[in-house]
Structure 1
Amino acid sequence: MSGRRNLVWLGLTPEPERELPATVAALRGAHHAAADPPAAAERAERGRVERLVLHGTQRGWLRYLSEVTGLVTAVAEGSRPGDPQAALLAAEVVLDHHRMLIGLPGPGYGRTAADRQALESAVRTLRAAPPDGDRG
């Protein structure tokens, strides 16, 4: 194995890097309401994304996006508190990213098949939710 990193995955789209830190921090914050102030939680999430992009691998990045998928689907299913609009934004960003993987060499697209399916279902559910998030 060479010491070179495969960086082709970094050229997909900047939206996850831009959109996910604040959105994911909000989704995590709904579960940890008293833990970190929102600004600190967003800074921490932005730092995590930055480390993944600058020093990580595609595999690590996809693990992070899978974690985001888990947050989104839990909100969509109602098993986790969270803002449905934030969950919808995160779902759409990750789903777009995962769909673009088809154009890259390697197993990324295949690895994300289950997450794509879960995200598609979550997007349908979240789009159908009333605007105020009340499903009951």
Structure 2
Amino acid sequence: MSGRRSLVWLGLTPEPERELPTTVAALRTGAADVTHTSAEAATAERLRVERLILHGTEQRWLRYLAEVTGLVTAVAGGNRPGDRRAALRAAEVVLDHHRMLIGLPGGGYGRTATDRRALESAVRTLRTAPSDGDRG
């Protein structure tokens, strides 16, 4: 095996790097609405994603997306406060990403099987369960 790092994982859709920073910042801070997420939190998340893409590896990227999956499933399960719309958007983006891994060489698709199942369940929950603002 050569010492060159594989960059094939960077060829997937740009939606994660474009859409996750703001939604993940909202989930990390527990903001009730993504519009109430601080600019500093969103910027910090954007910089983290940028570092991962420019200097990371597929394994580190998948670990980051596993963190996002944990945040999403905690919000969907009611174990963490947060904007359910942001959780749904993050879940859809990560789930789409993980499904596309089937077309890449390597074991990324297999490694994300558990996360895909968790995200599919979270998406169903987040799409059907009313948000806190809808209860009453």
Report what 2:68 is aligned to: 68
1:54-85 Cα deviation digits (max 9, x unpaired): 00000000000000000000000000000100
Structure 2: runs of 5 or more not aligned: 32-36
Could you state the TM-score of these two structures normalised by the residue count of structure 1?
0.91
Report what 1:111 is aligned to: 111
Structure 1: runs of 5 or more not aligned: 32-36
Shift of 1:112: 0.0
How far apart, in 2, do the equivalents of 1:105 and 1:81 lie?
Answer: 37
* Alignment size in residue pairs: 131
Could you state the TM-score of these two structures normalised by the residue count of structure 2?
0.91
1:89 is aligned with what amino acid? R
Report what 1:34 is aligned to: none
2:97 is aligned with what amino acid? H
Matches within 5 A, 1:24-35: 24-30=24-30
Shift of 1:2: 2.4
1:70 is aligned with what amino acid? G
How far apart, in 2, do the equivalents of 1:92 and 1:72 lie?
Answer: 10
Q: CA RMSD in A?
A: 1.6
Checking the alignment, whether the CA contact within 8 Å between 1:65 and 1:94 is kept in structure 2 is yes
1:116 is aligned with what amino acid? R
Between the aligned residues of both structures, percent identity stands at: 80
Report what 1:86 is aligned to: 86
Describe the SS at the equivalent of 2:30: helix
